[in-house]
Chain A
Amino acid sequence: MTQITSEADTKTFEPLAARGAPTRQIGPLNWLRKNLFSGWLNSLTSLVLIGVLLWVLPVMINWLFLDAVFRGNGEVCRQSAGACWPFIYEKIPVLMVGVYPQELIWRPAVAGVALLALVYLTFSDRIRGFVLISAWLALPLFALVMIGGAFGMTEVNQSLWGGLMLSILLALVGVIVSIPLGVMLALGRFYGSPLVKALCIGFIELIRGVPLITILFMVSVMMPLFLPPEMIINNLMRIQIGMIFFSAAYMAEVIRGGLQAIPKGQTEASLALGVSPNRTILFVIVPQALRHVLPPLIGRCIALFKDTSLVIIVGLLDFLGMIKGAALDPDWLGFQTEAYFFAAFVYWLICYSLSRYGRALENRGPNGAKR
Chain B
Amino acid sequence: MKNVSLISAIALVAATAGSAQAQTLEKVISEGVLACGVSEGVPGFSNPNSEGVWEGLDVDICRAVAAAVLGDSDAVRFSPLTSSQKILAVSSGQVDMTSRTTTWTMKRDSSEGVDFTQVVFYDGQGFMVRAESGITDANQLDSATVCVTTGTTTELNLADFARAQNITIEPVVFEGKREAVAAYESGRCDALTTDASQLGAFRTSFIDPEAHTILDTLISKEPLAPLVAHGDNQWKDIVTWTIFGLISAEELGITSENVEDLAANSDNPDVQRLLGVSGDTGGFIGLEGTWMKDVIASVGNYGEIFDRNLTQTLGLERGLNAQWNDGGILYAMPIR
- Report which A residues bind B (CB closer than 8 A): 78-79, 90-91, 93-94, 97-102, 157, 159-160, 217, 220-222, 224-225, 229, 232, 235, 312-317, 321-322, 324-326, 328-331, 333-334, 336
CA distance A100 to B94 in the complex (A): 20
- Which of B7, B49, B80, B85 sits near A329, CB closer than 8 Å? B49
CA distance A160 to B10 in the complex (A): 29
Which 8 pairs between the two chains have the least Cβ-Cβ distance?
Answer: A334-B205, A330-B313, A333-B205, A325-B41, A328-B41, A99-B52, A224-B92, A225-B14
A332 to chain B, nearest CB (A): 8
Q: Is B249 an interface residue (CB 8 A)?
A: no
Indicate if the CB atoms of A315 and B77 lie closer than 8 Å.
Answer: no
CA distance A126 to B11 in the complex (A): 54
**CB neighbours of B94 from chain A (8 A):** 224, 232, 235
Q: Is B84 an interface residue (CB 8 A)?
A: yes
- Which of A78, A221, A336 sits near B178, CB closer than 8 Å? A336
- Report which B residues bind A (CB closer than 8 A): 7, 10-11, 14, 18, 21-22, 35, 40-44, 47-54, 77-82, 84-85, 88-89, 92-94, 178, 201-202, 204-207, 309, 313-314
Residue from A79, A222, A330, A331 having most chain B Cβ neighbours under 10 A: A330
- Contact A225 B206, CB 8 Å, known A235-B79, A324-B41: no
CA distance A316 to B81 in the complex (A): 8
A314 to chain B, nearest CB (A): 7
**CB neighbours of B50 from chain A (8 A):** 90-91, 93-94, 326, 329, 331
Q: List 22 A-B contacts (CB under 8 A).
A: A78-B207, A93-B50, A94-B51, A97-B52, A99-B53, A99-B54, A100-B52, A102-B51, A157-B77, A159-B35, A159-B77, A159-B78, A232-B93, A314-B85, A315-B79, A321-B41, A322-B48, A328-B41, A328-B47, A330-B204, A333-B204, A333-B205
CB nearest neighbor in B for A92: B50
Indicate if the CB atoms of B88 and A221 lie closer than 8 Å.
Answer: yes
B124 to chain A, nearest CB (A): 20
**CB neighbours of B309 from chain A (8 A):** 330
Main secondary structure of the interface of B (DSSP, over half): mixed
CA distance A92 to B73 in the complex (A): 27
Indicate if the CB atoms of A321 and B80 lie closer than 8 Å.
Answer: yes
- Which of A94, A220, A225, A325 sits near B40, CB closer than 8 Å? A325
CB nearest neighbor in B for A158: B77
**CB neighbours of B40 from chain A (8 A):** 312, 315, 317, 321, 324-325
**CB neighbours of B84 from chain A (8 A):** 217, 221, 313
Indicate if the CB atoms of A328 and B313 lie closer than 8 Å.
Answer: no
CB nearest neighbor in A for B17: A229
**CB neighbours of B11 from chain A (8 A):** 225
- Which of B7, B53, B81, B201 sits near A330, CB closer than 8 Å? B201
CA distance A224 to B92 in the complex (A): 7
**CB neighbours of B82 from chain A (8 A):** 312-315
6 additional contacts (CB under 8 A) given A93-B51, A99-B52: A94-B50, A97-B52, A217-B84, A325-B48, A326-B50, A330-B314
Residue from B18, B22, B35, B92 having most chain A Cβ neighbours under 10 A: B92
**CB neighbours of B52 from chain A (8 A):** 93-94, 97-102
CA distance A94 to B80 in the complex (A): 15
Indicate if the CB atoms of B53 and A329 lie closer than 8 Å.
Answer: no
Indicate if the CB atoms of B48 and A220 lie closer than 8 Å.
Answer: no
CA distance A98 to B78 in the complex (A): 12
Indicate if the CB atoms of B48 and A94 lie closer than 8 Å.
Answer: yes
A75 to chain B, nearest CB (A): 10
CA distance A313 to B88 in the complex (A): 14
Residue from A222, A232, A334 having most chain B Cβ neighbours under 10 A: A334
Residue from A232, A315, A334 having most chain B Cβ neighbours under 10 A: A315
